[in-house]
């Protein structure tokens, strides 16, 4: 166990209110699992924290014993940075409190909360902030990398809505950071990943969204890509901020509104979310229904919480995953051709590609306003290799890499840090662009020994 003295472990157990889990405990294997099943690492110890005091104690233990540190929030990160071999995992999954102040339009969220926890509380008051597209994602990791979702075109990325945070830094000090208090650290937290400490509370600005929105799916045959995708591009570029439509290209899952004969065929599923006036939804989305001749559609009013969970069945924990991602200023016809050919050659029925249409408010914020730097990204394309058997690792990984390479000449060179896999550390500077050097300076000030390095690491300047 990394040669950690038994006496030190016993002292840690008495110092925390939560649990200390080791390899001999019956729930150790379950506690070390993360969303991506290709990650199979064995930490030396897991500290399931009950509060900020436990975080402080766990950090002190890691420093004093020279143990590699990892931090688990929702454990959804594709690179599996929540867990490391022979590391001390600070497990925040039990810290799930979400408190809403509907009058001030603020949310106070602990780092173990999932998107579903956040939405459940906020939507009771018809409030939301931009947060992801999969309800099992952790709020903490998504936020620290920048974060975006269905309402980002209207309200920006997640960190544009982060008002303040409580954080324990490498020196074991608790700090309340905001634009007024330690503003440089607060700037770095808004997109700089888990490089600067352990956040124990997030404070978000909320917006009036829902509880009903208008949206759903329009599913086209992939063979109509030559007409559907250019029309999609034209529609998005002319759409108001209240409209978000993402294109998902894959083999058709067994959706109940699709004929059984369509299941398993290559499709373009246009995922639509309109947060304008509910009565305006049908007219606003009418053009999407006429890009071609759809296999089927399912559009209408629905709870925002339901739409936030719409893709959960395709993203359940326990499958093997490998991603590659690019940002784009515009989608060329050549890029559409690359995507179409690749989807016709998917190595697993679970593989997919999604085109995340951004722009709107996400592009109006200056690049140096937050650590999240991708302000010129109008589209994010994520190549999502997903499969079930380890024997398919090589062919599914290579499929993603080949498509990525083919699209590289058409991309702008930047990348969303939360979409980087564990073998892409060389792209961290591309993720932060002109903000990287400033982040390295903040890192030097708050974590000069790089205690927080089990991540897409920013090294101290």
CATH number assigned to the domain comprising residue 127: 3.30.465.10
Note whether 308 and 400 are same-domain residues.
yes
Note whether 155 and 84 are same-domain residues.
no
Question: What is the CB-side half-sphere exposure of residue 333 using CA atoms within 13 A?
Answer: 4
Note whether 109 and 227 are same-domain residues.
no
Note whether 111 and 85 are same-domain residues.
no
Task: Flag whether 426 is in a domain.
Answer: no
Picking from 175, 209, 243, the residue at the C-terminal end of a domain is: 209
CA distance 247 to 265: 16
Note whether 182 and 285 are same-domain residues.
no
CA distance 91 to 50: 9
Tokens of 220: 């086209």
Vertex 260, ends 259 and 264: CA angle to 5°?
110
CA distance 56 to 433: 32
Note whether 287 and 151 are same-domain residues.
no
Task: Flag whether 179 is in a domain.
Answer: yes
Task: Flag whether 323 is in a domain.
Answer: yes
Structural domain boundaries enclosing 237: 212-419
Note whether 25 and 125 are same-domain residues.
no
Task: Flag whether 456 is in a domain.
Answer: no
Task: Flag whether 439 is in a domain.
Answer: no
Note whether 237 and 334 are same-domain residues.
yes
Task: Flag whether 447 is in a domain.
Answer: no
Picking from 209, 236, 253, the residue at the C-terminal end of a domain is: 209
The tally of domains found in the chain comes to 3
- Asked whether the whole model's pTM tops 0.75, one would answer yes
Cβ neighbors of 391 (< 8 A, separation 6 or more) are none
* pLDDT the model gives residue 3: 78
Tokens of 243: 């409209």
Question: What is the CB-side half-sphere exposure of residue 455 using CA atoms within 13 A?
Answer: 27
Residue among 249, 265, 253 nearest 407 (CA): 249
Note whether 62 and 126 are same-domain residues.
no
CA distance 458 to 431: 11
Say which CATH number the domain at 323 has: 3.40.462.20
Contact 67, 90 (CB under 8 A): no
* pLDDT the model gives residue 4: 87
Note whether 219 and 288 are same-domain residues.
yes
Question: What does each of the 461 residues of the chain score in pLDDT, given as a tens digit?
Answer: 567 889 999 999 999 999 999 999 999 999 999 999 999 999 999 999 999 999 999 999 999 999 999 999 999 999 999 999 999 999 999 999 999 999 999 999 999 999 999 999 999 999 999 999 999 999 999 999 999 999 999 999 999 999 999 999 999 999 999 999 999 999 999 999 999 999 999 999 999 999 999 999 999 999 999 999 999 999 999 999 999 999 999 999 999 999 999 999 999 999 999 999 999 999 999 999 999 999 999 999 999 999 999 999 999 999 999 999 999 999 999 999 999 999 999 999 999 999 999 999 999 999 999 999 999 999 999 999 999 999 999 999 999 999 999 999 999 999 999 999 999 999 999 999 999 999 999 999 999 999 999 999 999 99
* pLDDT the model gives residue 233: 98
CA distance 318 to 73: 17
Residue among 247, 292, 290, 250 nearest 270 (CA): 247
Note whether 125 and 264 are same-domain residues.
no
With 0-12 / 13-18 / 19 or more C-beta atoms within 10 angstroms meaning exposed / middle / buried, residue 125 is middle
Task: Flag whether 438 is in a domain.
Answer: no
Residue 158: C-alpha distances to residues 116, 308, 328, 340 (Å): 15, 15, 20, 31
Note whether 174 and 219 are same-domain residues.
no
Task: Flag whether 458 is in a domain.
Answer: no
Say which CATH number the domain at 73 has: 3.30.43.10
User: Do you know the residue count of the chain?
Assistant: 461
CA distance 78 to 459: 21
């Amino acid at each position: 166990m990394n040669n950690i003295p038994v006496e030190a472990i016993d002292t840690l157990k008495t110092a925390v209110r939560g649990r200390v889990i080791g390899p001999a405990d019956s729930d150790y294997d379950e506690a070390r699992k993360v969303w991506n099943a290709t990650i199979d690492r064995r930490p030396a110890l897991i500290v399931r924290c009950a509060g900020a005091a436990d975080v402080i104690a766990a950090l002190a233990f890691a420093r004093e014993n020279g143990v590699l540190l990892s931090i688990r929030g929702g454990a959804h990160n594709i690179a599996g940075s929540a867990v490391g071999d022979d590391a001390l995992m600070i497990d925040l999954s039990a810290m799930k409190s979400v408190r809403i102040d509907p009058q001030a339009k603020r949310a106070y969220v602990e780092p173990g909360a999932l998107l579903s926890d956040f939405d459940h509380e906020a939507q009771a008051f018809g409030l939301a902030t931009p947060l992801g597209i999969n309800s099992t994602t952790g709020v903490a990791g998504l936020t620290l990398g920048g974060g975006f979702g269905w309402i980002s075109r209207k309200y920006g990325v997640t960190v544009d809505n982060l008002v303040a945070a409580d954080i324990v830094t490498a020196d074991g000090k608790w700090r309340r950071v905001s634009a007024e208090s330690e503003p440089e650290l607060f700037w770095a937290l808004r997109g700089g990943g888990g490089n600067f400490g352990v956040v124990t509370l997030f404070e978000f600005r909320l917006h009036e969204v829902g509880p009903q929105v208008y949206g759903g799916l329009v599913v086209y045959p992939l063979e109509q890509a030559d007409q559907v995708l250019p029309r999609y591009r034209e529609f998005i570029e002319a759409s108001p901020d209240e409209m978000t439509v993402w294109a998902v290209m894959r083999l058709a899952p067994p959706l109940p509104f699709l004929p059984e004969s369509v299941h398993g065929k290559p499709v373009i599923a246009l995922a639509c979310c309109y947060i304008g006036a509910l009565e305006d939804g049908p007219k606003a989305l009418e053009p999407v229904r006429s890009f071609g001749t759809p296999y089927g559609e399912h559009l209408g009013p629905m709870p925002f919480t339901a739409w936030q969970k719409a893709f959960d069945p395709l993203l359940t924990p326990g499958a093997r995953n490998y991603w590659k991602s690019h940002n784009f200023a515009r989608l060329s016809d050549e890029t559409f051709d690359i995507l179409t050919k690749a989807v016709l050659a998917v190595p697993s029925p679970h593989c997919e590609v999604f085109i995340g249409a951004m722009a709107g408010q996400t592009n109006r914020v200056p690049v140096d306003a937050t650590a999240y730097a991708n302000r010129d990204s109008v589209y994010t394309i994520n190549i999502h290799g997903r499969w079930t058997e380890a024997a398919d690792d090589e062919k599914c990984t290579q499929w993603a890499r080949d498509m990525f390479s083919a699209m590289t000449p058409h991309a702008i060179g930047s990348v969303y840090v939360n979409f980087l896999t564990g073998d892409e550390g060389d792209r961290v500077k591309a993720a932060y662009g002109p903000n990287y050097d400033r982040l390295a300076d903040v890192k030097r000030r708050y974590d000069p020994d790089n205690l927080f390095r089990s991540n897409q690491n920013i090294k101290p300047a």
